[in-house]
């Protein structure tokens, strides 16, 4: 077979870049929403209010156990029955494909994030919360100043894993016609018959995106735990055990 890599510097290259633009927008919007859902839901489940527990359990289990593509299709085709009409009309004028993909991906990954957050909070000894409450901090203050900072340190690697899988799952939005990277590859294959070149380019872009996420995760992790290393080094030096 003959390949012509120069097409990537022409129109095809531009359409891949616009695809990247949409992929990034989709990823960032759903990442912000998913992390918020995750923290809210995870904290709610960790607190364990009796009336909230079954609802949260059902939400998390239902969205974790169903395929993201079907969720995207569900939100795309049946949103007009579920969403309040003014919201739906606003989203429709804006271009509803993107909205459906963002809603579905943030709910799907929000469920995973909430499990991660709950596990992180559970890993902190209960005494920390009790001590914070005993010092007169409210529940919100105790969470913000005592529990989250400690939990985040443990949470960064799983959170980054989840975020990477969210970025990968944005490729599913092509099922409803969001013009992101994978969609652009399909259209280049259909109109220019240069599938292999476009597919290679798109694969490399996804690969670089995922590696970047992992790199950022490592940086954040190092930054969050730098004073721990410093402290343990001083403790070790002071005790003469180093």
Partner 1 sequence: MSNWERVWTLANWQRLLFGDLFTRGQLGGIALTLTIGLLAILGSTLIGAIVGLMRNSPRRSLNVPAMIYVQAFRNVPLLILVFWAYFVPPALGFQISKFMSVLIALTLFTGAYIAEIVHGGIKSVAPANIEAGRALGLAGYQIHTKIVLPQAFFNMLPALAGRYVVSIKNTSLAFLIGLTDLTEIGKQIGARLMTAPLEVYLTLLIIYFVVNRAISALVRLLEDRKRFNRLFLRI
Residues at the site binding partner 1, with contacts judged by CB under 8 A: 1, 61-62, 64-71, 73-74, 77-78, 81-82, 164, 168-172, 174-175, 182, 185-186, 189, 195-196, 199, 202-203, 206-207, 210-211
The secondary structure of 23-42 as a DSSP string is: HHHHHHHHHHHHHHHHHHHH
- Which CB, 1 or 241, lies closer to partner 1? 1
- Residues near 171 by Cβ (< 8 Å), separated by ≥ 6? 23, 180, 181, 182, 206
Task: Count Cβ atoms within 10 A of the Cβ of residue 228 and give its class: 0-12 exposed, 13-18 middle, 19 or more buried.
Answer: exposed
Distance CA(205)–CA(197), nearest Å, equals 12
- Closest C-alpha to 79, from 110, 101, 57: 101
C-beta of 16: minimal distance to partner 1 in Å?
13
- Which CB, 146 or 170, lies closer to partner 1? 170
Is the distance from CB of 174 to CB of 180 less than 8 angstroms?
yes
- Closest C-alpha to 167, from 29, 17, 38: 29
C-beta of 144: minimal distance to partner 1 in Å?
30
- Which CB, 78 or 141, lies closer to partner 1? 78
C-beta of 112: minimal distance to partner 1 in Å?
10
Is the distance from CB of 146 to CB of 181 less than 8 angstroms?
no
Distances (CA, A) of 215 to 208, 211, 212: 10, 6, 5
Length of the chain: 242
- Which CB, 21 or 141, lies closer to partner 1? 21
C-beta of 198: minimal distance to partner 1 in Å?
10
- Which CB, 103 or 143, lies closer to partner 1? 103
- Which CB, 46 or 185, lies closer to partner 1? 185
C-beta of 71: minimal distance to partner 1 in Å?
7
Is the distance from CB of 188 to CB of 198 less than 8 angstroms?
yes
- Which CB, 142 or 182, lies closer to partner 1? 182
C-beta of 179: minimal distance to partner 1 in Å?
15
C-beta of 59: minimal distance to partner 1 in Å?
12
Helices (H), 3-84: 11-47, 53-64, 68-82
């Amino acid at each position: 077979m003959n390949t012509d890599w120069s097409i990537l510097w022409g129109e095809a290259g531009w359409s891949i870049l616009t695809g990247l633009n949409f992929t990034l927008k989709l990823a960032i919007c759903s990442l912000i929403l998913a992390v918020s859902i995750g923290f809210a839901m995870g904290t709610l489940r960790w607190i364990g209010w009796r009336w909230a527990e079954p609802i949260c359990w059902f939400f998390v289990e239902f969205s974790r156990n169903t395929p993201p593509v079907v969720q995207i299709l569900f939100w795309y085709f049946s949103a007009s029955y579920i969403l309040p009409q003014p919201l739906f009309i606003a989203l429709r004028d804006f271009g509803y494909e993107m909205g459906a993909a963002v809603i579905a991906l943030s709910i799907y990954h929000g469920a995973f994030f909430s499990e991660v957050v709950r596990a992180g909070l559970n890993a902190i000894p209960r005494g920390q919360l009790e001590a914070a409450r005993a010092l007169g901090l409210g529940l919100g203050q105790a969470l913000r100043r005592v529990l989250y900072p400690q939990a985040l340190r443990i949470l960064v690697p799983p959170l980054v894993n989840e975020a990477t899988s969210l970025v990968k799952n944005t490729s599913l939005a092509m099922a409803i016609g969001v013009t992101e990277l994978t969609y652009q590859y399909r259209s280049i294959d259909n109109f220019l018959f240069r599938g292999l070149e476009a597919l290679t380019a798109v694969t490399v872009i996804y690969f670089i995106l995922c590696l970047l996420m992992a790199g950022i995760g490592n940086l954040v992790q190092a930054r969050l735990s730098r004073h721990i290393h410093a402290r343990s080094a001083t403790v070790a030096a002071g005790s003469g055990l180093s």
